[in-house]
Amino acid sequence: MKVYLVGGAVRDSLLKLPVEEKDWVVVGTTREELISKGYKQIGKDFPVFLHPETKEEYALARKERKTGKGHKAFNFEFDKDVSLEEDLERRDITINAIAQDEEGNLIDPYHGQQDLKNKIIRRVSDAFKEDPLRVLRVARFAAKLKGHGFTIDDDTKTEIQKIVSSGELTTLSKERIWMETHKALGTDNPETYFEVMEECGALNQICPLSNLDSSFLSKVSKVEIEASIRWACVVAPSSAIKEMNNSFNAPKEYKEISVVCSQIIDFKKLESINAEDIIELAEKTDLYRKEERFLKAEEASIFCINNNFKDELNWKELAKRINDIKASSDLKEGNLIAKKLRKDRLEAVQLYLSKT
């Protein structure tokens, strides 16, 4: 039994980037032998095991054969005679197909180190085209590594376009699409993910109504790392907010922030505003109950408006003043309480505006 560190941990270590998690491949053993050593199996479709002490993931070396359309249409072979090279051959790109043995020696049959040196994202083999998920993964790695000078080689771009043209991208689950997209939002250059997807036709296939302007995301990613705010900068300027949120399977919180951001953008485009306009916006966006959501959406809106726009309002202060106004305990009827509360909030906004 031989154990090898593989994938992103080796790649990032060679690039001197933080190693987020470690994945291991085990060669020359069986499921039964690992279980007897205390490993716990967690994978259904193929054997992945948790180490009894470190809890890191260990997978049996495997070969695979495509059996139909889609990301999951594969038969796997986990025979103990499967070699490390055969396992690495099924991986997506060469810089992810480098292994390291327990003595620290690198095994690199597909020249991933050379591609790291040349800053190239390149497919490993012809098997690349069999898995449509690799379109999204290549786009994500392009986003992750853009700041380090990496680009996708032309042959791999061609293969990505072939996958899109085959229609197999439509077999991906929305959950998997969001998983890759969410990871991409956490990179230094998330706009690259969407640009690659747009260039190869994948974006239009995932959401035909999308009309992306990645420049907004490019601006926000320089200063804001929170994924929900970055996502709002992707979706809110679009005329197809609902369709994009649903097509990418964005979580409820992300959807809501993007919708509120769109409402704030429309508000900021008004030629003039008064206290009544602000109160109406607060009511429309449920600022009274969801102040944090509003402030995240407002922050995103800053990056989605023309650079010449200057917002004179301190929205954090304004939101606090509005929400500091509480319902009167002197009134008994619900409609009277609501009217008085609105009047008091309106006056608080008027007072704020008079001092700005």
Q: CATH no. for residue 13?
A: 3.30.460.10
Residue 164 lies in a domain: no
Q: What is the pLDDT of residue 220?
A: 81
pLDDT per position in the chain (356 positions), as tens? Answer: 999 999 999 999 999 999 988 999 999 999 899 999 999 999 776 779 999 999 999 999 988 776 667 566 567 777 899 999 999 999 999 999 999 999 999 999 999 999 999 999 999 999 899 999 999 999 999 999 999 999 999 999 999 999 999 999 999 999 999 999 999 999 999 999 999 999 999 999 999 877 777 778 888 888 778 999 999 999 999 889 999 999 999 999 999 999 999 999 999 989 889 999 999 999 999 999 999 999 999 999 998 886 656 677 899 999 999 999 886 655 555 667 788 899 999 999 999 999 87
> What pLDDT score does 63 carry?
83
Q: Is residue 18 part of a domain?
A: yes
- Is position 55 within any domain? yes
312 falls within a domain: no
Whole-angstrom CA distances from 317 to 186, 284, 349 are 29, 19, 10
Question: Count of CB atoms within 10 A of residue 150's CB?
Answer: 20
Tell me which residue range forms the domain holding 72: 1-124
In a domain, 102, yes or no: yes
Q: Is 12 inside any structural domain?
A: yes
The pLDDT of residue 47 is 79
Residue 2 lies in a domain: yes
* Tally of domains within the chain: 1
Q: For the whole model, what pTM was predicted?
A: 0.90
Query: Is 293 inside any structural domain?
Result: no
Res 150: pLDDT: 98
So what's the pLDDT on residue 35? 92
What is the predicted pLDDT for the residue at 222? 82
CB atoms within 10 A of CB 88: 25
